[in-house]
Chain A
């Protein structure tokens, strides 16, 4: 990335943050209203509950992204994450999945941000710290301290977000270092976040250390405009078909894979079906005079 690109990106980030804060406020407000059973329209009554919720949410995460609940095992070290690290990867509009007209619930203007668990601060708890320490020590020895972008501990699982160009090195180290020894890879799973600008495609690896009986998760990202991730087949041969599947379903190109071809879809299939911009497909079903639209076009909740 060249330096000239940075200024607009920063602006985008700032705007995204503002949007998150607004969105969260609205979301919390919406929840408070939703939960009050009597459904009074009086603002005076609803207001205190709203503020309480908001305060509680803010004190929980320290960032105002109060939608997320902290895992209990996280709570002692639940110190505020630096603002700006909160990343909205989308926003939900209204109460229902209806577009255009149709939402007469009064919640049509509701906007709530989609915020994933924020990066955790040390100590992570339990053996998480041992793994993180060993990893950090090895990275420092090779001048690659920036390889791990962030660490997320959520629901008792630890996720290392790794810079994609360093992925083969990190994986090799995780496998070979005796203190780490993640000799088994369960596979790679793609996730497509169309609104996570600049990092739309995520590749998620689940590693298992049979020696130490531990599981960790690695996550790398790639933008839609440059869907390339280095292949790990040379480190974990089991990823051969898994990477082919992820390529097949998301169009993520694993550079260095020996034969990156489709594995589940036909060879001449257009598009990558698991991407969010790929429609589910289907035809309306006629039954007793009625017509039921295909699942992705039905009125639904989001």
Chain B
């Protein structure tokens, strides 16, 4: 074939195989020739290995920085420290169990991981139009709450890394409120596995809407506090303005999406341009900034939280009119048969359902057993339905061979792609600006490494 076959051999030369460049012999006492070879830059050129266990690297990210004094001449990322083989593991579980795995990837935005995977599976099943309205609204509600909690962490950790500790404490304080809502609705603070093929795992619990309304009212008071604390703060601006510059051409070439792309002034938001889960029915604005820098990305995240709050409010209003409506598809060949309920020892299997399958209906037991252990079959094919996660385009390439398990599930994670911009954003700047640039990308290593 026309492709180069000479590269089929081992790509890595073993030690001693070097055939190009000057070869130094380190067996004798000729160390002086070695230092001569390094040239004049030997004293100034420093290679710093930052991470993978560094507090300012958003998890286990390793940065290899080449410095001249305080200036970064080269910046490279080393990733893979959190690789857990989620995609491989999903090939050994049923389609529904896959949700339990992919929710753990980008742990700050679990609902988006679930949503993009589930939307792909639903497209392959050809049931996209059969998802009940209430399930759609609940998905949007959870995703937008999740956007708020994710952006809060982005701002909080970003603030902490430049020394603004108050931003961190209040950011995590508010995030806790969102996690409380998640716990109320899904039973878990993280790793929910709540969005399932065909709908969501269960209905809203009693009182959830009131809690959501209280949260909206509280956040409307508290979000302006961030603006008051940061927007015009001279130290904050001094650290963020014109740092981590990346223009539109750079973003498109490097495949950057999310707030980084929108900080170039380009209003690209998949919720608006390629709506999914009924986003076309909500009233919200795409937030942009035109400075191409870290400060713009901060302002976009701040504004997007207000927009998300608007959407959450509309969701709450719609949910108030959808009391008792189904949250799972009517097709019993796909819908998860089991139900959950709160018992004396917390949430668990619904006793009514257990009674039904164990005491009343043999057919229900067979149906439950078949669907829970074997699962449903998904027609052969492939699908890619991206969603706008807090970090950009998150998509799952889902391939089915017609079996009960994913043949292949590959996640295009925005953190993975956006992290490629580290070099262009930080080379030529100061060491301290590397931290700010990476914080403005807001990578989550769980999503990068999967």
Contact = CB atoms under 8 A, between A and B. Distances in A.
Interface string A138-172: 00000000000000001111010000110000000
Contacts of A197: none
Query: Interface majority SS on A: helix, strand, loop or mixed?
Result: mixed
Contact of A155 (B3, B126, B386): B126
A117 B3 contact: no
A112 B379 CA distance: 13
A229 B3 CA distance: 7
Interface in A266-302: 266-267, 273-274, 280, 295-296, 300-302
Contacts of A176: none
Given A155-B124, A237-B254, A265-B83, A189 B380 contact: no
A92 interface: yes
B402 A114 contact: yes
Interface in B68-91: 79-80, 83, 85, 87-89, 91
A165 B1 contact: yes
Interface of A: 1, 67-69, 71-72, 89-90, 92, 112, 114-117, 154-157, 159, 164-165, 183-187, 189-192, 204, 206, 210, 213, 215, 217, 222, 226-230, 236-242, 245, 253, 255-256, 260-267, 273-274, 280, 295-296, 300-302
B384 A217 contact: yes
A164 to B, nearest CB: 7
Interface stretch (B22-30, B134-142, B215-223, B405-413): B405-413
Interface stretch (B7-15, B104-112, B143-151, B342-350): B7-15
Nearest to A190: B410
Interface in B357-402: 373-375, 379-384, 386, 393, 395, 397, 399, 401-402
A282 to B, nearest CB: 9
B2 interface: yes
A255 B373 contact: no
B93 A295 contact: yes
Contacts of A155: 123-124, 126, 381, 383
Given A185-B255, A217-B384, A241-B416, A273 B274 contact: no
A302 B405 contact: yes
Nearest to B77: A241
B379 A228 contact: no
Given A154-B381, A165-B2, A255-B4, 18 more contacts: A114-B401, A115-B380, A155-B126, A164-B3, A184-B252, A184-B255, A191-B399, A204-B397, A213-B273, A226-B8, A230-B3, A238-B256, A240-B420, A241-B420, A280-B91, A296-B92, A300-B92, A301-B403
B306 interface: no
Contact of B88 (A117, A238, A245, A274): A274
B356 to A, nearest CB: 19
Given A263-B79, A265-B83, A206 B412 contact: yes
A189 B412 contact: yes
Contacts of B79: 263-264
A18 to B, nearest CB: 20
A114 B381 CA distance: 10
B380 A226 contact: no
B449 interface: yes
B1 A228 contact: yes
A273 B403 contact: no
A186 B3 contact: no
B303 interface: no
B268 interface: yes
Contact of A90 (B3, B93, B395, B401): B401
B7 A253 contact: yes
A291 B5 CA distance: 47
Given A228-B8, A253-B8, A264-B83, A238 B380 contact: no
B253 interface: yes
Contact of A280 (B2, B80, B89, B381): B89
B314 interface: no
A57 to B, nearest CB: 12
Contacts of B252: 183-184, 210
Contact of A255 (B3, B94, B399, B412): B3
Given A68-B379, A69-B379, A157-B384, A260 B404 contact: no
Contacts of A1: 1
A208 to B, nearest CB: 8
B92 A159 contact: no
Contacts of B397: 189, 204, 206
Interface string B262-274: 0000001000011
Given A186-B395, A264-B449, A274-B88, A226 B412 contact: no
Nearest to B380: A116
B401 A89 contact: yes
Contacts of A67: 379-380, 402
Contact of A187 (B4, B5, B80, B255): B255
